Amino acid sequence: MVEHIWKNGFTPDYTRWIFHGEAHRTREEVVRQRVEDYDVDAGVGDMLNDYHEAQFAEGRTEDEPEATAKAFYDMFDAAQKPLHGKTKVSQLDAIGRIMVFKSQYSMSRDAFDGLLTVIGSLLLEDHVLPKSMYEAQKLLRALKMTYEQIHACPKGCVLFRKEHTKAKYCPKCKSSRFMEVDSGDGQKRQLDIPVTILRHLPFIPRIQRLYMTEESAKQMTWHKKGKRYNPDKMVHASDGEAWTHFDAIHHEKAKEARNVRVALATDGFNPYGMTAAPYTCWPVFVIPINLPPGVCFQRQNIFVSLIIPGHLGNKMGVYMEPLIDELVRAWEEGVVGQRWWAQDDDDAAQQDDDDDAAQQDVSGSGSSGSRSIYLRGPASLPKRPILRDRRPLIRPDGERSWMVLETAGGHGRNPNGILGLLCREHFPRLVEYAGVTSPAYTFDHYAVAPDAVDRDGRQFNNKAERVKQELWDFFRCDAGYEARADVVSTTCCKKLVVDMHYEARIQAIVTYHGSVLGEKVNKKDARTMSLTADQYLQMIPHWCAAHPECWEKMVQRWCSAEWDEAHNASRERRLLMQGPSHHQGSRSLGKYAEAWSAAHGGAPCSTFSAYAMAHKGKATSDVTYNPDDGPEAYTNPAIHSRLSEYTAMAKEVHGPDYDPRTEDIDGDVLMRVGGGKRHGRYWIADGAIDSSSTPTLSQGEILQTRLDDERRQREELEKRMAEMFAKRELGLHLVPY
């Protein structure tokens, strides 16, 4: 009754005496049904404008977009056809408006299908309006954003995902995953209705949409390229100390302005109102903070990522797992995205999608103006800093290999793999070496490239020292082997830098054929192929992305007649080799010996035997070494003669009883049988020989001359002593009784 009087007054046609203290009537006396206004376009016009802005203008180049973006653009292209021949309204525009109408009035599926049928019967015969809701949704499928429902323990102990996907009860508190009812016999049975549901809306696809139009893609670089009209004021998060500190720690990721930085926000509220039942839900928002200050916190740029049901208590970390997994994947692996950027401050724009999963928009260091290609092996270094007692303990083992003594529960990575990544990370710009300015083709180029102060305040004499010293950010060196480790790391880096350049050309060919031509080419075939200069320039590797002038020089070299002639001659020499070089793969001989021993019950395996068997078969096979085996037992018959000549020389030096299967390879014997290090390589087992303890050929000859002199002197002394002893014995016999 009170509400009726408040709305309608206590008597009809009552005059309100507003000048005597009565308030204005808040509503008309006649109460009518209220229908909320709605936008008939529902943002469709803005969406279409965004699409048209994203189209390539004259003079722009178009590359094949990433798969998700391609589906999105294909949907737009298909929907741009007119609804019928006598209207300018597009098919997409019409569907969007009708879908808004359905949502506004909560129409059922059957009612919506009937509405489409009626409208279609009123249009011209050539109309393209869908006949059912299924056809309409099929057309709009590319617009949808996926989400997943994740079942959770009622007490928030775990999420039923990953290893708990098939569990029906919580592994910690034993609570039922599904609602339970009494089955009538005193037992409870589970229904198919989950007790608690966490809703996860992946934020990465939503951020990828920001790179599908030129305008929003430009805004995503504002934090680095945007203009500050008052530099003394903090107008954006990028002006703060936290942002600057992050850039100092992760300087490689900070180089690329398009890498996305996000903020997380959450708070609980009662969706049913303050006076409703005591229930809360916690939405978790992801906000890309690359955007300008006026755009960053607009509704369309704040993405709901999680909807957590009920009161959290201390279980926030459990419910945040899907979001954290997304963040970790974006940070460590990167995400393929559609990217735009301006060139030379003009209106030209170019589209780009990378194949390097570690160098994409949401994480990793990207490359501007071309694809960034992926190189084999882990794409990133282990996270630093690593506590010293958590670093694996290593020792030099041979000329280019290492022995891991203790893993210490650390990262378990290969030292040479780390050195290879460091060579890429600290690749210098064009350097002047021996009077010629060129890219750093060798590790000697690193030695003349100046170093800069890093985030920890360290600065080394040159880039070569930087690479070698940063190895110890990830490992510990066995005491007493520091000097030898420096020599081995230098030798390794010399080979790794050469391999890095060789791999870059091969991978560029593989990537170009895969991403541009749609052809799968393996590396073996790529060695016999080449690209044009323009094609090479599109495939810049990530370690050279910051120095495109170096890549241009490298491409010019590969496209020159001199390089082509040398490359073909080298390939012809390799083709003359009989059979594969060995079966040890990327293992060192020491690792091959360990693998063979492990596969054969712990049987001992010397380096000599490992070298011989590596040219017969894999370590896990039944291969053995027998000195009586003929040349046909080896993949390359020339290996048999090398082993035989080494064995003969070793027996000449050490005696006829010498057995190379039970002894370490003798560097002195290698130098003698091979006539020194021909072309910089030992006669056999090149990478397993310690050069520092192996004499040169001249040193060996001097040593042998000294040993021969000592042997002759010893023989003469023994001969004189024998003569003296014989004369003494004879004199004793001549004495008369």
The alpha carbons of the chain give a radius of gyration, in whole angstroms, of 38
Q: Please tell me which residue, 51 or 78, carries the higher pLDDT value.
A: 78
Distance CA 500, CA 234 (A): 43
What's the confidence (pLDDT) of residue 21? 54
pLDDT in tens, 576-589: 655 556 777 667 77
Q: Which two tokens stand for residue 413?
A: 């990575």
CB-based contact 554:501 (threshold 8 Å)? yes
CB-based contact 179:287 (threshold 8 Å)? no
CB-based contact 503:544 (threshold 8 Å)? no
What's the confidence (pLDDT) of residue 217? 84
Check the CA dihedral 634-640-642-648 and report its sign.
positive
Confidence class for position 362, pLDDT limits 50, 70, 90: very low
Q: Which segment of 445-449, 498-502, 541-545 scores lowest on mean pLDDT?
A: 541-545
State the DSSP H helix or E strand holding residue 672, giving kind and residue range, or none if neither. Answer: helix 667-674
What's the confidence (pLDDT) of residue 56? 39
Amino acid in position 566? A
- In Å, how far are 95, 97, 270, 279, 338 from 310, measured between CA atoms? 37, 36, 9, 6, 37
Nearest to 611, CA basis, from 594, 598, 637, 593: 593
- Average pLDDT of the chain is 77
Distance CA 465, CA 461 (A): 6
Q: Which segment of 45-54, 264-273, 430-439, 557-566 scores lowest on mean pLDDT?
A: 45-54
Distance CA 262, CA 651 (A): 70
- Tally: H helices and E strands in the chain: 27, 14
**Mutual angle of helices 463-470 and 482-515, in 10-degree steps:** 100
Average of per-residue pLDDT across 6-25: 62
Three-class secondary structure of residue 261 per DSSP: coil
Q: Which two tokens stand for residue 116?
A: 């489409």
Domain definitions of the chain by residue range = 44-143, 148-198, 201-227+235-240+252-338, 388-575, 589-694
List of residues 6+ apart from 428 with CB closer than 8 A: 440, 445, 446, 449, 463
Distance CA 462, CA 364 (A): 26
Secondary structure of 671-725 as H, E, C letters: HHHHCCCECCECCCCHHHCCHHHCCCHHHHHHHHHHHHHHHHHHHHHHHHHHHHH
List of residues 6+ apart from 705 with CB closer than 8 A: none
pLDDT in tens, 685-713: 665 565 555 555 555 555 556 656 666 77
Share of the chain above pLDDT 90, in %: 21
Amino acid in position 138? K
pLDDT in tens, 384-394: 778 888 899 99
CB-based contact 82:90 (threshold 8 Å)? yes
Average of per-residue pLDDT across 53-79: 53
State the DSSP H helix or E strand holding residue 476, giving kind and residue range, or none if neither. Answer: strand 476-477
Confidence class for position 199, pLDDT limits 50, 70, 90: very high
List of residues 6+ apart from 586 with CB closer than 8 A: none
- Number of C-beta neighbours around residue 282 at 10 A: 17
Token pair 């990262």 in the structure block, residue: 411
What's the confidence (pLDDT) of residue 22? 59
Distance CA 58, CA 62 (A): 11
Q: Which two tokens stand for residue 471?
A: 């190895």
CB-based contact 94:83 (threshold 8 Å)? yes
Q: Please tell me which residue, 409 or 422, carries the higher pLDDT value.
A: 422
State the DSSP H helix or E strand holding residue 134, giving kind and residue range, or none if neither. Answer: helix 133-139
DSSP symbol at 265:
E
Check the CA dihedral 246-247-250-255 and report its sign.
positive
Secondary structure of 18-75 as H, E, C letters: HHHCCCCCCCCCCCCCCCCCCCCCCCHHHHHHHHHHHCCCCCCECCCCCHHHHHHHHH
Nearest to 531, CA basis, from 542, 543, 519: 519
End-to-end CA, the chain: 162
Distance CA 455, CA 460 (A): 13
Q: Which two tokens stand for residue 567?
A: 């490359």
Distance CA 341, CA 345 (A): 10
CB-based contact 29:9 (threshold 8 Å)? yes
List of residues 6+ apart from 343 with CB closer than 8 A: 349, 350, 369
Q: Please tell me which residue, 447 or 634, carries the higher pLDDT value.
A: 447
State the DSSP H helix or E strand holding residue 178, giving kind and residue range, or none if neither. Answer: strand 178-182
What's the confidence (pLDDT) of residue 471? 94
Count of residues for the chain? 737
Per-range mean pLDDT, top range of 363-372, 485-494, 537-546: 485-494
Distance from the Cα of residue 430 to its chain's centroid:
26
Q: Which two tokens stand for residue 447?
A: 């030695």
Average of per-residue pLDDT across 507-527: 86
DSSP symbol at 17:
-
Q: Which two tokens stand for residue 294?
A: 């006026």
